[in-house]
Structure formats: structure tokens, C-alpha cells
Structure 1
Amino acid sequence: MLRFFSGTLVLLVFAAECHSAPASGPVEVKKSPVALNILEQRLNPGGLVGQCKTNDSDRISSLSGNPNEMSRWRNGYVVQLSPEWNTEQAQLIEGALYELSSKICIPIRKFATGAPAYGDFVYIQKGGDRTGCYSTGVGRQGGRQVINLQENGCVTKGIIMHENIHAMGFNHEQTRPDRDNFITIYPDQIEDGNAQYQYKVYSGSLTFGVPYDTQSIMHYGSYDFSKYGNPTMRKKDGSIINSQRNALTDSDISKLRKMYNC
């Protein structure tokens, strides 16, 4: 597990050795072994994977790529883990953040668990049954924002990366303005309520010139949020979309790097 120093903001920088800086500044933490082979659970289609809880202001900014420059994490992406996570769970979360940071140019910093946190940061909390997997914002919201990971079903490497990518500035791939060129949506098959907003297209969404990707870690599957057990969407050729929460695709990495000018 990565070492953290109480009351200090930690920069996740990865190399062979570890050293500390004065307590008045950030402490650099070099790479240490992190267990990534913990069994990953997957919820059944129509489950809570990727469910976002939003209010009206969130819906306005729920874009494939949030165009608001003020929502970028220009000074690094900052997180804090709830003290409710056990050691194994915390290792998995930190491992997912490490893998994410190794693919892009956004420095990831972490407040020590239980230490006073300040400024703009993402609090990664452990959720109880049926609370779902969600980020309360798309991009930096200002102050404390929350990622909720339901303990039973959401604590997997891919879902952790998925929700943190929301907080970094991206919503679901199927909300892109060009999605109708690649998939067909069946609105009457989608669950009522908040689920409808996960399929809504916003014309101001940024794609950064990256091709549409049905295998993106940010794309839903054909049966997610299905009201009657039928497909909520298909590819244009009529085939089913099998979503994956295993790894970032090249398009996921490319969009994040373009958003943050890597």
C-alpha cells in the first residue's frame, strides 16, 4: 500500500524509491507494490454500474467532454479516501488511480485519510447497499465533491477509473453529439427517472477529434438501465454492445490527454 503522511497532501509520483519532503510542503511518494489482482465483481446488466446522481446544474454540464475550462484540474487531481475503506480496498483504489495517472499527464495527489482536507478535492466514500457508483460532478466543481462506490459491486479497478474520469471531466461515451452515427438508442426501453439523462445528447460536448468508441470504459452496454430486459441501444449494424470496465482504451487515454494538453 502506498505510504501516506498525516496532514500532508501527497503527490503520486512513481519510481523505484521513496523519500519525504518537509511537512510544510507536499510529500512525494514513489511507486510501491500495490495489489491489483483482487477479484473484480461485475453487476448484472441493469444494475447500478456507472449510475450518476445529478441535479439540474449537473445535467447542464453532463457532457462527453465538459467544455468549461474552469472545470479542469489545472493544479493536479486531488482525492481523499474515506477512513471506512479497509486496507485491501484502499490498495485497490490507489492501484486504479496509479494506473490512471500512468497513462495521462494529470498529477494525482492524495490527502492522508482522516487528515484535514482543503481546497478542491474528490472524496471517495464507501457506499452501502443500493447506493450505486456515481460522481457528483463532471469535472472540478469547486470545494469538496464526492465519488460514491457501493461496497458490493463498485469496488473494481475499472469502475474506480470510470468514476474518477467523470470527476476529471468526461461523462458517458453515448452522450457524444455524434453518437447517432454509430449507435441506435431506444428511449422507451430505458428506465424512467435519472437513467434517461445518461443517454441524453448535449450538442456542446467535446470529442477532441477522437473517434467514437463503443468499447470505451465510459460506454454503457446494451442492457444497462433496461426497463423491460430488452436492449436500450445497439450498434448501427444491429449488434449488441458489450460494455467493459477492465481497462482504458486508446480513445479514453487520447481524450484525457487532449483535454489536459498532454
Structure 2
Amino acid sequence: MFLSRQSILIFPLLAMLVVSKPFEETNEHHIEKRAIKAGPDTLIIVPPITNRNKWPRVVATGMIQIPIAIRTTDYSREELAVFHQGMADIQNKTCVRFVNRTSQPDYVFVRDAGQGKCGALIGKVGGIQYLSLTPACMRIRKKCIHEMVHILGFHHMHQRFDRDHFLDIKWGNIKEANKFAFARYDNKWEAYGTGYDPWSCMHYTRKGFSKNTFDTIVPKNKEWLDVIGTQLTLSKGDATRINRMYECPHPYT
């Protein structure tokens, strides 16, 4: 059963799911944490996502199923409606389907962590998996989709293995605490035969985490300056990569 707008707005508050772990333990990808002191020469090895870290397929339909629950008291009806739009975008372009979590042991729990941060782990990790969205993030469809694509198993586009052919990272303009988010990954496997994608919803903006209002990411193709990080939803490339990772059936291939 696909999530409807009505169902997403009436998830009950689950008292048993009150967050007790620090945000950093539950939401920062462990590979990124190894890159805290990242710089121009940093290259982080990223092992391929295996079947263990992919969300399961429903044999009867061929669709990928992700159980989800939301602590609705953290958000307004309008904010939840935006999140619903983000899920619908993913469902319309891929074989991923979000369903109400009932008793599934592996599921996504959406809530505001209360620390002013938004984030998610990469791929399925097992058990309860937090997707942290502040109300401000929940009001922006692209940010909702960005974090959900992390949960599907994808990293940032601007950290892709070949990004230095397309971008200049301005390390001197990046906030020190956020340099880890600009480390380059050795993740050619994650391209799934697609080229560098400035339209990806997984791309930061040109001034992402700037400490001085100057650009932190400068595309070599200047026509991309006002493209990167500005897309509302999945790019064609984003949808292709998801469908190829999860071996989606026709008509999504």
C-alpha cells in the first residue's frame, strides 16, 4: 500500500521512539566522520552498497519497499504535505515505494532531532533508522528528497570520484567543521554508468557551508554556477542511478 497524503498526516506519536542518542551517532555517515580534517588531497574509500544495505524488494510486484513512520507532532500539516510531495516524486520516477511501518524491524523514523540539523545515514543500516529533518528542512521538498536519497544508498554528487574534472573546491572558504562534507570519494561504482550530474538533488549549492559568503564550489563550466544545488527534485540522472542500483523493472529501467 502506497502512502497517501491522509496516511502520512495521521501517523501517531510513538513514545517508545523518543531519541536518546546524540545526533552525531545516529545521523552522520561513518565514512564522512573519518574525513573531518578533509582537504584537497583527501580521498575516502567508499565500499559498494551490498544487498545487505539495500531496501528489500517485494517479489510479487518487483517494487522496493521502505517502511516509514513520522513523529507528526514535530511538524505542521503544511510541512508534512511537502514531505509527502518529496516521497511522491521518488515513487513516480523509480520503483521505490514508501509504506506505513507496522511491525517491520527495519524502518525509517522521521523526526526533528532538536539540534537544528538535518541528516540521514547512507543505505539501510537495520533496525530503526533516523531521518532527521527540522521544520525548516521539512518545508523544502528538495531537502526532504536529498535525505531520502541518502537512505536509499547514495552520497553527495559534489563528492563523486571524478568531481575534480568538473569543479574547483574552494577549501579556504569552507567552515572548518564542515570540510568533511567536501572530501572526494573513491566511489566509481556509484555512478552506475552515468556522467557527472550538476542537476542532481545530491549536489550542494555554490555557497554551501561558506564561512565568508564566497563560493565553496565553482564549476569549471560557468553555466553550472546557478544550476548546482538549486533543483527542486530528482534529476533524470538521480532517478536512473536509483533504478539501476535497485534493478528496477520496466518501465523504470
TM-score normalised by the shorter chain: which range applies? Answer: 0.7 to 0.9
Deviation at residue 229 of structure 1 after TM alignment: 1.6
Q: List alignment gaps of at least 5 residues for structure 1.
A: 1-10, 13-28, 35-51
Quick one: distance in 2 between partners of 1:65 and 1:55? Answer: 13
Deviation at residue 196 of structure 1 after TM alignment: 1.3
Structure 2 counterparts to residues 48-197 of structure 1, below 5 A: 53-54=27-28, 56=30, 59=33, 66-75=48-57, 76-84=65-73, 85-111=75-101, 117-128=103-114, 131-135=116-120, 137-193=121-177, 195-197=178-180
Deviation at residue 172 of structure 1 after TM alignment: 0.8
Quick one: distance in 2 between partners of 1:33 and 1:148? Answer: 20
Deviation at residue 59 of structure 1 after TM alignment: 4.4
Quick one: distance in 2 between partners of 1:55 and 1:254? Answer: 23
The Cα offsets for residues 76-112 of structure 1, whole Å up to 9 and x where unpaired, read as 112111131333332322232122111101222122x
Deviation at residue 225 of structure 1 after TM alignment: 0.4
Native 8 Å contact 2:208 2:217 kept in 1: no
Structure 2 counterparts to residues 195-214 of structure 1, below 5 A: 195-205=178-188, 206-214=190-198
Quick one: distance in 1 between partners of 2:54 and 2:34? Answer: 16
Native 8 Å contact 1:66 1:139 kept in 2: no
Q: 1:30 to 1:92 in 2, by over 3 A?
A: closer
Quick one: distance in 2 between partners of 1:146 and 1:139? Answer: 12
Quick one: distance in 2 between partners of 1:259 and 1:139? Answer: 11
Native 8 Å contact 1:93 1:160 kept in 2: yes
Quick one: distance in 1 between partners of 2:202 and 2:29? Answer: 20
Native 8 Å contact 2:170 2:216 kept in 1: yes
Quick one: distance in 2 between partners of 1:192 and 1:202? Answer: 19
Normalized per residue, which structure has more helix?
Answer: 2
Q: TM-score, normalised by structure 1?
A: 0.71
Give the structure 1 partner of residue 60 of structure 2.
Answer: none
Quick one: distance in 1 between partners of 2:45 and 2:86? Answer: 23
Deviation at residue 126 of structure 1 after TM alignment: 2.8
SS of the residue 2:133 aligns to: strand
SS of the residue 1:102 aligns to: helix
Quick one: distance in 2 between partners of 1:217 and 1:176? Answer: 13
Q: TM-score, normalised by structure 2?
A: 0.73
2:76 aligned partner, one-letter code: N
How many residues end up aligned between the 2 structures?
Answer: 213
Q: 1:89 to 1:154 in 2, by over 3 A?
A: closer
The more displaced of 102-111 and 58-67 is: 58-67
Quick one: distance in 1 between partners of 2:235 and 2:71? Answer: 29
Percent identity of paired positions between Structure 1 and Structure 2? 21
Quick one: distance in 2 between partners of 1:97 and 1:181? Answer: 32
CA RMSD in angstroms comes to 3.0
Structure 2 counterparts to residues 241-260 of structure 1, below 5 A: 241-242=226-227, 243-260=229-246
2:191 aligned partner, one-letter code: T
Deviation at residue 255 of structure 1 after TM alignment: 0.7
